[in-house]
Chain A
Amino acid sequence: MKKFLALLVLAILPLSVMAHGPSPQKVEKTVTIKAPPAKVWALIKDFGNMQTWHPGIASDKTEQKKDDNGDMATFATLTLKSGGEIVEMLRGADDATMKMRYEIDGGVAPVADYNSFMQVAAGSGEGETTVTWVGRFYRTYKLNPPIPAGQDDETAVKFVTDFFDAGLAGLKKAAEDSK
């Protein structure tokens, strides 16, 4: 019941792009995959098909619409298996550097002002790839302490850490299995 209430609170919290906490948080995770970089990059750059490798995502759909500055951008709505949605905006996917950048624009993720990138690079071994996933974000609570549970730094960091860990394990599996 408590968990349900916490989720309910998270779900109805408006994810504002305005004020945020004063200290940005960071999660950085790396995985080594036994598959060529081009193959791994093809999975990552396919923004809007994250469900093909992230085990926490039930479905993913993209649409083109204007961003805050009035420019056309690609948005993806991820439906989580645990319930709720996350709206992401693609900031760029560069084939030359194999770097994909995106931000979170709404949904149930307990973070504010979230921006992130995934970097694909050749690994140290033959046919190996390393993927680094870095997220920078703030907690959702915007006022002076006391900070309510579920809106603090720890909750934000845990959510992103779990999302990255599950995602990178899934990415490794997807890239190594489909040989």
Chain B
Amino acid sequence: MMKKLILFLLLLLAACTQSSVAYITNQGDNTVSVIDINQAKVTHTIAVGKAPVGVAISKTLHRAFITNVESSNISVIDTNTNKVIETIALQGAPVGVALAPNNRALYVADWYSDRILAIDTADYKKQREVVVAIAPAGLVVSPDSKTLYVAARDSNEIAVIDAATLTINRRITVGKHPFGLTLSNDGDTLYAVNVYANSVSIINTKTWQQSKIKVGEHPYCAITSLDNKTLYVTNTQDDTVSVIDLITQETIATVEVGMTPEGISYDAASKLVLVASWGENKVSVIDTTTNKLKGHIKTGDKSRAFGQFILSKQ
């Protein structure tokens, strides 16, 4: 009886303290670092394919999908066991990756062949494709899973694609070399990070009106807070994150982070933003309640974490 009670209490404690988890791709040593965000430490290091870049997480399917650009495949990680359970072979160079919120399709950008693959998550062999524009990079899917947005880096545009038919409905010219993309949580605003223009395009997805805000040098990726009031942008060649108030569209803080910050994700449970530092092999953690650096977590060689890399417990 006593034993059972203790076990129950332990389980309860585990449930209460359960942390969100981050999956960080390490290009240089072909691994993924699994970070327990509350403990601020790496709990697992998983060997994947060659030069991993992109990450997409499905809480429902308990899967993390990792794009390995130099080995032309995707490592599928079971997030319950943190083991690679399958490797999906592809043609081309997979970089950007995103999951439909309904978990039915995994979208993969092929950097060299200018196309997007739509992989059926119930049967990885079922793949469709659409040729988009030159060097597709960042991907994001609308909350209703009906629209896929693709940043075509070398075409300086965003393609708006019908996810069901893979028809390109619209092309939006943005700044020079759009790379990372993110959406507000309601799906009404799209943010495209323009690497060569040092700006972020803010696009209304109903009227397609666009405005631009200046950020730091060679920005890469962006993420909004859960309340859609704040945008966080990695500036790869300033080693900073720009914190932007989306109501006034002004920069309210510039946080110094690890060298060459690339991927960025927001954890609603802890209200922390995690940033992968390619140049210093670590993750920088920003407390969004103060917009100050909280600390760093050592990861593997050349961390990129391109995509939404947090498995949220909220």
Contact = CB atoms under 8 A, between A and B. Distances in A.
B32 to A, nearest CB: 16
A143 B134 CA distance: 12
A22 B51 contact: yes
Interface residues on chain A, size class: 10 to 19
Interface string B83-95: 0000000011101
B205 interface: no
A136 B53 contact: no
Nearest to A103: B237
A26 B302 CA distance: 9
Interface residues of B, number: 27
A34 interface: no
A68 interface: yes
Determine the main DSSP class of B at the interface with A: loop
A179 to B, nearest CB: 33
Interface in A120-136: 134, 136
A123 to B, nearest CB: 20
B309 interface: no
Contact of A144 (B93, B154, B196, B279): B93
Contact of B279 (A22, A26, A142): A26
Contact of A136 (B135, B153, B279): B279
B70 interface: yes
Main SS at interface, chain A: loop
B135 A19 contact: yes
A143 B70 contact: no
Contact of B53 (A18, A23, A91, A101): A23
Contact of A22 (B69, B134, B154, B237): B69
Contact of B134 (A19, A23, A134): A19
Interface string B148-167: 00000110000000000000
B107 interface: no
Contacts of B113: 144
B70 to A, nearest CB: 6
Contacts of B91: 144
A22 B196 contact: no
A101 B95 CA distance: 28
A142 B153 CA distance: 14
A24 interface: yes
B278 interface: yes
Nearest to A17: B196
Given A26-B302, A136-B260, A144-B93, A18 B154 contact: yes
A115 interface: yes
A143 B27 contact: no
Given A22-B51, A24-B27, 10 more contacts: A18-B154, A19-B153, A19-B154, A22-B95, A23-B69, A23-B70, A115-B218, A144-B92, A144-B112, A144-B113
Interface of A: 18-19, 22-24, 26, 68-69, 91, 101, 115, 134, 136, 142-144
30 contacts: A18-B154, A19-B153, A19-B154, A22-B51, A22-B53, A22-B70, A22-B93, A22-B95, A23-B27, A23-B53, A23-B69, A23-B70, A24-B27, A24-B278, A24-B302, A26-B279, A69-B197, A91-B217, A91-B237, A101-B237, A115-B218, A115-B237, A134-B259, A136-B260, A136-B278, A143-B112, A144-B91, A144-B92, A144-B93, A144-B112
